[in-house]
Amino acid sequence: AMNLETAKFDFNWINQLPGHKVLSPGNHDYYATSKKKVRTALPKGMDWIDADSTVVGDYVVAATRGWILPGDAVWDENRDRKIYERQVGRLRLALEHAKKTSPDKPLIAMLHYPPVTQYARESGFLDVLQEYAVEWCVYGHLHGNAHRLAVNGKTGGVNLQLVSCDYLKFRPIRIK
C-alpha cells in the first residue's frame, strides 16, 4: 500500500491469520509516515515496533528498519553513511527499550535489512546485537538471486535467519 488508508486492508487480512503479529518498517512501507498513526490503524492484537520493542510470550522483540552495509556493492559513502549510523543507533534504542521494559526476557531483534551479508560480514548492527546479547535476529529484504547473500546460523553468538517470504516459500518457520 502507498498510503495508510489502503494499508488497513492488508492489516485486516494479516490479522485474520493465526498468531500474534509484530510488524516493523521496511524500505517500501511508504504508508509508515508516523509510528503513532500506524499503531492507531492496526487491528487489536497486532503490534508495530520501530526503535522500540514489544513482549511476545517468553520473549521481547525489538525492531528497526536497518540499512545497507559498508562494503555492500551498492554502498555509497556520501549517501548511505548517515542513514546507516542513524539506523544502528535506532537498533540500540530498540534494544535498550527491551532491556528496560523486560530485563529478564531473552531478546529477538527484527531488522528489514540484513545485519551482515556474505560480502559485508562486519557491521555496527552485529556489534549492537552482540552487545545486548540478542539470541535471534530475523531479517528480510533479500529476494530472488539476492538470497545468495544471506547469512543464516550463529554469527558472533547471534542466531541469524533470513525470513523473506520468497526465501521461505511463503511458509512460516519456527525459530526457537
From CA 126, how far away is CA 146, in angstroms rounded?
20
- Kindly indicate the confidence band of residue 1, based on its pLDDT and cuts at 50, 70 and 90: confident
Tell me whether residue 173 is exposed, middle or buried, using C-beta atoms within 10 angstroms of its C-beta: 0 to 12, 13 to 18, 19 or more.
exposed
Of 98 and 1, which is predicted with more confidence?
98
Helix axes 124-131, 77-101, angle to 10 degrees: 10
Instruction: Name the β-bridge partners of 47.
Output: 22
What are the distances in angstroms from CA 32 to CA 20, 22, 26, 61, 73?
20, 14, 9, 19, 27
Q: pLDDT tens for residues 55-72?
A: 999 999 999 999 999 989
Q: pLDDT tens for residues 117-135?
A: 998 877 999 999 999 999 9
Q: pLDDT tens for residues 138-163?
A: 999 999 999 999 999 999 999 999 99
- Residues 128 and 114: beta-carbon distance below 8 Å: no
Model pTM above 0.75: yes
**Mean pLDDT score across all residues of the chain:** 95
From CA 73, how far away is CA 41, in angstroms rounded?
37
